[in-house]
Structure 1
Amino acid sequence: LCQSYKLLNVADLELKDSQKNPQIILEELVMNIINQKISR
């Protein structure tokens, strides 16, 4: 759970720092979470 919060914070920083499409950042975040669950 702690890791998910860290990922959310990172995504939030990316939203503020870059002009990336928020949808793309969300998709990357979801993929990261899914990959972590699979790798465990």
Structure 2
Amino acid sequence: MDELTPEMVHRFVDKIEVQADGSVNIHYKFTTTALLTV
């Protein structure tokens, strides 16, 4: 897999916040613990 598709973003990302200073916070629809149990 070489690129992130819009479908992947909608499936795995809950929301993306861009702060006033330009920093970005990405909120995923899953937790790190969920990834470890797969």
More helix as a share of residues? 1
Q: Same fold by TM (over 0.5)? A: no
Name which structure has the greater RCO, CA cutoff 8 Å, separation 6+.
1
Taking structure 2 as the reference length, what is the TM-score of the superposition?
0.27
Taking structure 1 as the reference length, what is the TM-score of the superposition?
0.26
Rg larger in 1 or in 2? 2
